[in-house]
Chain A
Amino acid sequence: MVGLLHQTLSGLATGGVYASLALALVMVHRSTHHLNFAQGEMATFSTYIALMLIQAGLPYWVAFALTVVIAFALGVAVERLLMQRMARASPLAVVGVVIGLLLLFNGLSGWLFGFTIKQFPSPFEGNGGGGAFGGMVSDHEVGMTAVTIAVLIAMSLFFRMTKLGLAMRAAALNPESSRLLGIRVGATLAAGWGVAAGLGAIAGMMVAPIVFLDPNMMAGVLLYAFAGALLGGIDNPAGAVAGGFAVGVIENLGGAYLVGTELKLTLALVIIATVLVVRPAGLFGHVTVRRV
Chain B
Amino acid sequence: MSALLEVRGLRAGYGAGEVLHGIDFTVAPGGVTALLGANGAGKTTTLRAVCGLLRRAGEIRFDGARIEAAATEDIARRGVAHVPEGRGTFLELSVAENLRLGAYMRRDRGVAADIARVLDHFPQLAPRLRQQAGTLSGGEQQMLAIARALLARPRLLLLDEPSFGLAPLVVQQIFAILRAIRAESGIGILLVEQDASLALALADQACILDAGRIALAGPAATVGRDEQVRRVYLGY
Contacts and interface: CB of A to CB of B under 8 A. Distances in A.
B92 A182 contact: no
Given A166-B100, A167-B104, A179 B73 contact: yes
Interface SS of B by simple majority: loop
Interface residues of B, number: 24
Interface stretch (A80-88, A97-105, A145-153, A170-178): A170-178
B104 A173 contact: no
Residue among B51, B72, B89 with max Cβ neighbours from chain A (10 Å):
B72
A184 interface: yes
Contacts of A178: 101
A195 B148 CA distance: 28
A183 interface: yes
Contacts of A184: 73
A180 B88 contact: yes
A188 B102 CA distance: 16
B215 interface: no
Interface in B170-220: none
23 contacts: A163-B104, A166-B93, A166-B100, A166-B101, A166-B104, A169-B97, A170-B97, A173-B92, A174-B90, A176-B84, A177-B88, A177-B89, A179-B53, A180-B51, A180-B53, A180-B72, A181-B105, A181-B152, A182-B73, A182-B152, A183-B73, A184-B73, A185-B73
A179 B76 contact: yes
Interface string B65-101: 0000001110011000110100011111100010011
Nearest to A167: B104
Contact of B84 (A170, A173, A180): A180
Contacts of B97: 166, 169-170
Interface SS of A by simple majority: helix
Contacts of B91: 173
Contact of B101 (A170, A176, A185, A286): A170
Contacts of A169: 93, 97
Contacts, number: 62
Residue among B53, B90, B100 with max Cβ neighbours from chain A (10 Å):
B90
Interface in A218-251: none
Contacts of B90: 170, 173-174, 177
A173 B76 contact: no
A60 to B, nearest CB: 38
A183 B82 CA distance: 13
A177 B88 CA distance: 5
Residue among B51, B92, B148 with max Cβ neighbours from chain A (10 Å):
B92
Contacts of B89: 177
Residue among A179, A181, A184 with max Cβ neighbours from chain B (10 Å):
A181
A177 B72 CA distance: 10
B105 A182 contact: yes
Contacts of A163: 100, 104
A280 B28 CA distance: 53
Nearest to A180: B82
Contact of A181 (B71, B92, B102): B102
A166 B72 CA distance: 19
B104 A181 contact: yes
Interface string A170-206: 1001101111111111000000000000000000000
